[in-house]
Chain A
Amino acid sequence: MSKSVWLGGCAAAALMFCAPAIVTAQDDAADRELVINGEIEIVTEADAPAHLENMSTIRSGWTFRSPETQTMQMDDFDNPGTLGVEAAREAFSADLGNGESCAGCHESPEELAGVRAVYPKWDADAGAVQTIEMQINECITERAGAEAWGYDSGEMIDMSALMSFVSRGEAVNVAIDGPAAETWEKGKEIYYTRYGQLELSCANCHEDNYDNMIRADHLSQGQINGFPTYRLKNAKLNSVQGRFKGCVRDTRAETFSPGSPEFVALELYVASRGNGLSVEGPAVRN
């Protein structure tokens, strides 16, 4: 008698232990935690940085996606973005066209761990804020003396993905004060300016309406800590500024170009809105 009671108790306890975990995984994508390969812990939710006036919590785009898409990013084998990373690893030690290579200065990509987290940043020599793509091209042209890559070319996006890959888990921490302040203010102005026939600013969707649906799509906060992202809709890695261009185009405006001073300023500002989240590129998004 007492034995069967004990068994019943055990079964009930097991159910209680099990059931909530299953419900969480399937029903509430926002409450899952992102751990890549079972070892790299990613901060997907954090207190908003002090400069953000209208939001108290910042959330990675990962928290807005379906459980299936989220899962793809939890294992590098399942994440198609790592194909770009592999290609960039080969390019890292390949000839840049004049006998030089990235590996000539940097022993391995891993030596550059953490670099991604602080870009875009002020470059004193250039006298301007530089994105990681601009820094890569500065290395290629000035240090290696080779021909520059296209700002939004496939090889550049792959290399940018590799820079994110080796920095995954590091907290985004771009500087917005000092010499970068002017560019940051310009980026902030662009963020809050309405563009196009639809008269939409970045903030209209990503600040006022995140978590709401825009037709069939679930609006995120527009954080860029996961870039470059592998998008399921076009089955390739997409750059931050390529995404900006798509967003501005969707407002039915003439867009700025990737690599333009306007988008560099906007990238600095948007990156600073994610200070405190982890670098998680190459992320998987829809």
Chain B
Amino acid sequence: MAENVKPRVRVPSSASAGEVVTIKTLISHQMESGQRKDSEGNTIPRSIINRFVAEFNGETVVDVKMEPAISTNPYFEFQAKIPESGTMSFTWYDDDGSVYEDSQEITVG
């Protein structure tokens, strides 16, 4: 079970119709690769965020599959065109079955 996992997002609260906005996300997570061993020589089991999805009003913006080589506290920055007011929602999927969610409203007008 991963500890101290906390998603953070930065999304502009307003945009003009059709504007391309920059979105930043970060989730604190140790991203244990499964390649390391502890002091007794036992393999430390893999524990990573394996998928990240961003949706706007239910429509997929990005859907990322993540692998063990991705470093700790994965950070994503991407751009999206905002046609109308709505909700940008973010979901992170953990190896242990946990799902972390965050969302933010964007107002067009």
Contact = CB atoms under 8 A, between A and B. Distances in A.
Contact of B26 (A77, A87, A236): A77
B24 A83 contact: no
B10 A235 contact: no
Contact of A235 (B6, B24, B72): B72
Interface in A236-266: 236
B75 interface: yes
A235 B73 contact: yes
A87 B72 contact: no
Contacts of A47: none
A77 B28 CA distance: 12
Contacts of A274: none
A187 interface: no
B73 A83 contact: yes
B36 interface: no
A77 B72 contact: no
The B interface, classified by DSSP as helix, strand, loop or mixed, is strand
A236 B4 CA distance: 14
A86 B8 CA distance: 12
Contact of B75 (A78, A87, A236): A78
Interface string A16-54: 000000000000000000000000000000000000000
Contact of B24 (A77, A80, A87): A77
Contacts of B71: 235
Contacts of A77: 8, 10, 24, 26
A77, A78, A86, A235: residue with the most chain B Cβ atoms closer than 10 Å: A77
Contacts of A86: 6
Contacts of A87: 4
Contacts of B75: 78, 80
A87 B4 CA distance: 9
Interface string A212-241: 000000000000000000000001100000
Contacts of B6: 86
A83 B28 contact: yes
Contacts of A80: 26, 73, 75
Interface of B: 4, 6, 8, 10, 24, 26, 28, 71-73, 75
Interface of A: 77-78, 80, 83, 86-87, 235-236
Given A77-B26, A80-B73, A80-B75, 9 more contacts: A77-B10, A78-B75, A83-B28, A83-B73, A86-B6, A87-B4, A235-B71, A235-B72, A236-B72
The 8 closest A-B pairs by CB, nearest first: A235-B72, A77-B10, A83-B28, A80-B73, A235-B71, A77-B24, A83-B73, A77-B26
